[in-house]
Structure 1
């Protein structure tokens, strides 16, 4: 079935396949695996300024807005270790 226009008439997907570049790879890592699509910033600021409200919202079911706790812990641990390492050199 030929694709006419910008979208596939059957599935609704955008037609065409883009090449995998370093930029697209880094965007995929930052958004999918690290959660940098504003989840990290919202979680970091929320836990820094109002940790009780973030915990209450997360346990109340608002899990889309925040990073998963274990993922947040690993990201903060990695950043902290890098800062400690480079500040002691």
Structure 2
């Protein structure tokens, strides 16, 4: 196998991985919020968000996987902003529990 098609296949795989990880972290966050569980923000969610962002940035460098990378970055940035806004709003309501 030549290096060119293998390189494109790797970038496409990384792009799909970023989209899938973003969707998995979005589903996880929604399940925790709907079922009223404690959200493991520092451990699990930020780990998945950071992996989504890193793999999205890597997949942007290839022309064929750029759209997948942008989708992964969009989902990761949305989740990060959502967690930060929810923390700020929760802190504004009850600053010292």
| TM-score (normalizing by structure 1) | 0.35
Which of the pair is proportionally richer in helix? 2
Indicate the structure whose relative CO is greater, using CA pairs within 8 Å and at least 6 residues apart. Answer: 2
Q: Which of the pair has more CA radius of gyration?
A: 1
> Taking structure 2 as the reference length, what is the TM-score of the superposition?
0.33
